Chains A and B, each alone.
Chain A
Amino acid sequence: MSRTAQEWEERPAVPEGHFVDSRIYTDPLIFNEETQKIFNKTWKFACHVSEIPEIGDYRTFDHAGYPLIAIRSDDGEVRCFVNSCSHRSSVILDAPAGTAKNLTCPFHLWSYDTRGNCVHITRPEGYEEAGICKANRGLRQVRAETMLGLVFVNLDDSAGSLADYIGDGLETFSEILGTHELEVFHYHRVVMSANWKQWHETNMELYHEWGHVVNRTTSVAVKGYHDRMWKLYTNGHGTLEPLAVQYKNYPGWEDRAQKMLPGLTEGEFRVVDLFPNTTLIARSTALRIDTSTPIAPGKTLVEYRGLGIKGESPEDRAMRQKHHNQFWGPLGRNVSEDVLFVEKVERANRHRAAKHGIIARREGGRGQDDEVVRSFYREWKRQMRRDPEDITQLVDAPSISATGSN
């Protein structure tokens, strides 16, 4: 039966934590609060170490509205700085990647070394009276830590370590990431009309795999698909037991039975969702890392990386590239559909035609259970101190929840 306006707006008759208020995706105040309470304080995946292998190699990116630089310093350490000159604030580096001995601001030619020390002020004698000198005008350093080749940054100088934040969250990827030296061979980005949490949801709730013909045929139809248990970690991360995906079920595709990444068996699928917005997915021979950058409530940049083994033969790389592209390339059969899905949801959320998102699937913590999404929102609630079921309600921080309620 269809519902009246009042019925449509009523709180869904589901247990606590099993739906969200659609304003979490659209309200500008929530968006700003997320920047302050989540993105300014949590570890954010920036890049893979292979993107800055040599001294002076850098990558630029935005995080929480800050332009940042990740750079390999002259002592071999990866450091991160705010990409802003300490003189008149100009962005110093424009290119997404490059190599630099010193970072020189194009505006008045102030210069910094790869550790963020100011090493040149043009005509410094003009600052003597006011007390400005190289020693007190270094770049703002941002914390950067590396785990299994993944570089994370944190704008909060008082935050705990990356290792504490991830905990055991990467245990199912440690062999994949840590056995051989890997390198990024694929990078693309999409600016989508959707909220950043919607993207992370698509990486968590597998119920939507029904919407992709490739996932229906190669995964959902496979024995054991619905039996896999989710494992939830502290801080809102989660992973799923593996599945042997049957790639040959999709017409024209081959098995993924050779040149698997370390620790993976034929066709094996693994996923780990790291709070708040980074996901690693392994599909036997291929590995994808995606991470988002919120731009506005309904606008999100998602970056997709594909990784292979450094130094592998051109034939092996071509195979890995093909397998990456089949699902995840911009001309692939899966990721573009996800973008269309989340944009459709955003259209209905935008002006609150939709009031609630339902995250109420319970399958004993298996497969298409929404428990990992509920766990994400428990963490969101803890950090935001706000109820995702009704954004007008402030809440006391609940204690850290690790395992689900299933």
Chain B
Amino acid sequence: MSNVLEVQSLHVDFHLHGGYVQAVQDVSFHIKEGETLGLVGESGCGKSVTSLALVRLLSKTARVTGKVLYKGRDLLQVSGPELRRVRGGEVSMIFQEPMTSLNPVYKIGAQISEALRLHDKVSPRAAFARSLEMLRKVGIARPEEIMHAYPHQLSGGMRQRVMIAIAMVCSPSLLIADEPTTALDVTIQAQILELMKMLSQDFGTSVLLITHDLGVVAETCDRVAVMYAGNIVEQGNVEDIFASPEHPYTQGLLKAIPKIDSVVKERLQPIEGTVPTPARMPAGCRFAPRCALVQPGCRLERPSLYTVGDEHVARCFLHDRKEVAQ
């Protein structure tokens, strides 16, 4: 199977107070056709920055280097018109904040049809019909009415469904969903995830699902990349990562998930400490200050990604006798 997206050594620096701070460093991953890749990590580790960098949606203060190969074309190099053809048409995105992501002064119908009309030559009437159809597909009751509603008349869950309709209306090959359920009620979260799963299967869309919830990853993803402080620290198939996490950070994250089916009520063990901000990165391994298994060498040098299994890599000196991954 070929790769829809291949990210090679992505770096993002922000121009700040006359200097640069590194938000994302040497991030590489790929997504195969029809596959869902989870990108997990604590708040502030650079998930949103990574996802926005892929389609060049970061502010002008960001400096992005590396390669973002979408079906072989480097999105960081393509011209403006070509980038706009890809955005929305082939690569779509859903954001973390459904409450503010829709334009408050335009009707829902207009906002969905706009996405269509920017890419396909369709009449206003046909665009309206297809938008209505899309609203129905994202499970909105009374779609005819909602077409004429304004965003402020909708709940958060409805707005996120509308965002999904906007993102999927052109049947993109890749959907980037940046914590699409974080802002929603728990009961709505499951419905939205189910909807995304169903639509991406129907449309054959590959998904990059960003989340800080490993439970969500277990249910929806094929593979997972774990991010910590701007780096990917572990990557592999979901089963492998859950069965044998090789990086102390991943191990810590897994210990922090509540197990509903466990007989004995285990105490959750959150990882001590906080994610370092880009301006105050530790010199060696970025996780060293919080790591239970830290060695003196960890604070001096930064580990590479080592191959720890089939399609499974980890950025930790515990595995430094193994091969360095590409």
B is a partner of A: no
Which residues of A approach B to under 8 Å, CB–CB? none
